[in-house]
């Protein structure tokens, strides 16, 4: 299909996203095609490793096809987006658990669905243009595609900060946060890919990896930990307000722009994923949330304001982040009535 180039090259299975004009946004069909390739290569002895990359300079993958979810949801078709998430999450798990080494080369924007494709790989390569983020609260969703587990594993309370504010990480911060493993100058990526395909040996990455420089968020790690270790969203806002530093003011403003229901749910989601500690548990919790966000949450309004009308003026279900109750958050994370197997589980 035209949105992907799936092939074998030497000792490597190759998956290239080929929608650069759409920032390589992930569609439902793309998820299914990627999954099919992963399944085939798991049993193919000629494939020693898998390389996932993307065309274009601007983005590895800037997210999922949220315009599709908006238009479906507006017509009352919730089944389509829910099937998309179910299948996407199953594919995310297969990347994380694949028996062959998976290498992801991630340039430009890596957000939402792009994190699900690239940041569960065993060997995650970033370059000088990489910008990784989980900005779902801004559109009334929650960090998903297993992103809640990645956020949960970040040092200190960095995960809560990233998930609630949607802050973009450059390569150095991505390495520090655990969303990447190696920084390789992008001019060396073609040669690295060739070496991986020719040899089937992932040690080629270490041979070209370089120091990405200073992690900017490390300088405010103390402020992040102090504010974002609070037990509730209100508590975080209180600590940021009391601090009054330039960082605290910016973080409070960024947090307050997103959906209050999504933010409060995200906080609990990250902490439950941290406690559970597996990709399967994280995907299960995320699916409960996304299943509800499109019908009961703020997703339709968030996408309208940010993507469709672009007025940047969403009318959230809660006017104040402090107004979301514990009961509302618990309801977003409760088991689904028809819950049997979730996307992260094997059949």
- How would residue 340 be classed by pLDDT, with cut points 50, 70 and 90? low
| Interval 263-294: pLDDT, tens | 999 999 999 999 999 999 999 999 999 999 99
Does residue 340 lie in a domain region? no
Q: Is it the case that residue 109 has pLDDT exceeding 60? A: yes
Structure tokens at 118: 């690239």
In a domain, 347, yes or no: no
Look at residue 345 and tell me if it is in a domain: no
Tokens of 2: 């035209």
For the annotated catalytic residues, the residue numbers are 64, 113, 136, 144
Phi, psi angles (nearest 5°) of residue 12: -115, 145
What's the number of domains the chain is made of? 1
pLDDT in tens, 31-58: 999 999 999 999 999 999 999 999 999 9
**In a domain? residue 322:** yes
Helix/strand/coil (H/E/C) assignment for every residue in the chain: CCCEEEEEECCEEEEEECCHHHCCCECHHHHHHHHHHHHHHHCCCCCCEEEEEECCCCEEECCECHHHHHHHHHCCCCHHHHHHHHHHHHHHHHHHCCCCCEEEEECEEEECHHHHHHCCCCEEEECCCCEEECCHHHHCCCCCCCHHHHHHHCCCCHHHHHHHHCCCECHHHHHHHCCCCEECCHHHHHHHHHHHHHHCCCCHHHHHCCCCCCCHHHHHHHHHHHHHCCCCHHHHHHHHHHHCCHHHHHHHHHHHHCCHHHHHHHHHHHHHHHHHCCHHHHHHHHHHHHHHHCCCCCHHHHHHHHHHCCCCCCCCCCCCHHHCCHHHHHHHHCCCCCCCCCCCCCC
Residue 337: predicted pLDDT: 85
pLDDT digits (tens, 9 = 90+) for 4-13: 999 999 999 9
Which tokens in the block code for residue 20? 């650069």
The chain-wide mean pLDDT, for the chain, equals 96
How large is the average pLDDT for residues 301-320?
95
Looking at residues 161-179, what average pLDDT do you find?
Answer: 98
Q: Please report the pLDDT score of residue 342 as a whole number.
A: 54
Q: What is the CATH number of the domain that holds 130?
A: 3.90.226.10
So what's the pLDDT on residue 95?
98
The model's pLDDT over 186-224, given as tens digits with 9 standing for 90+, comes to: 999 999 999 999 999 999 999 999 999 999 999 999 999
Q: Which two tokens stand for residue 56?
A: 């274009």
The pLDDT confidence band at residue 2, using thresholds 50, 70 and 90, is confident
Could you tell me if residue 343 is inside a domain? Answer: no
Among 110-114, 120-124, 235-239, 334-338, the range scoring the smallest mean pLDDT is 334-338
Cα→Cα distances 320→56, 224, 256, 258, 323, Å: 40, 22, 8, 10, 5
Find the domain containing 217 and state its range: 4-333
- Per-residue pLDDT, averaged over 134-148, amounts to 98
Q: Is the pLDDT of residue 344 over 90?
A: no
Q: What backbone phi and psi angles, to 5 degrees, belong to 305?
A: -70, -35
Q: Please give the average per-residue pLDDT across 114-132, as a whole number.
A: 98
Domain assignment present for residue 187? The answer is yes
Q: Is the pLDDT of residue 347 over 50?
A: no
* CB distance 262 to 140 below 8 Å: yes
């Amino acid at each position: 299909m035209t949105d992907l180039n799936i092939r074998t090259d030497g000792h490597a299975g190759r998956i290239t996203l080929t929608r650069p004009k759409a920032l390589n946004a992930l569609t439902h069909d793309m998820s299914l095609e990627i999954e099919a390739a992963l399944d085939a290569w798991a049993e193919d002895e000629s494939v020693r490793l898998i390389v996932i990359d993307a065309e274009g300079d601007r983005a590895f993958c800037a997210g999922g096809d949220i315009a599709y979810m908006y238009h479906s949801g507006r017509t009352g078709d919730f089944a389509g987006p829910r099937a998309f998430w179910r299948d996407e999450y199953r594919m995310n798990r297969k990347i994380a658990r694949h028996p062959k080494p998976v290498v992801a080369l991630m340039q430009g924007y890596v957000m939402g669905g792009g994190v699900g494709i690239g940041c569960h790989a065993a060997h995650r390569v970033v370059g000088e243009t990489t910008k990784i983020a989980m900005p779902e609260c801004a559109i009334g969703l929650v960090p998903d595609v297993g992103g809640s587990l990645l956020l949960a594993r970040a040092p200190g309370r960095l995960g809560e900060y990233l998930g609630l504010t949607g802050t973009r990480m450059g390569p150095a911060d991505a390495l520090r946060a655990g969303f990447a493993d190696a920084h390789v100058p992008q001019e060396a990526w073609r040669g690295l890919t060739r070496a991986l395909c020719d040899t089937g040996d992932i040690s080629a990455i270490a041979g070209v990896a370089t120091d990405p420089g200073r992690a900017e968020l490390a300088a405010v790690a103390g402020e992040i930990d102090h504010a974002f270790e609070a037990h509730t969203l209100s508590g975080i806002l209180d600590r940021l307000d009391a601090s009054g530093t330039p960082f605290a003011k910016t973080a409070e403003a960024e947090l307050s722009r997103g959906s209050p229901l999504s933010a409060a749910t995200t906080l609990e989601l990250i902490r439950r994923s941290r406690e559970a500690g597996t990709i399967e548990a994280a995907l299960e919790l995320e699916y409960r949330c996304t299943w509800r966000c499109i019908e009961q949450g703020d997703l339709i309004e968030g996408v309208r304001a940010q993507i469709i009308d672009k007025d940047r003026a969403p009318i959230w279900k809660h006017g104040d982040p402090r107004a979301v109750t514990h009961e509302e958050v618990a309801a977003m994370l409760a088991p689904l009535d028809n819950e049997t197997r979730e996307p992260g589980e094997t059949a």
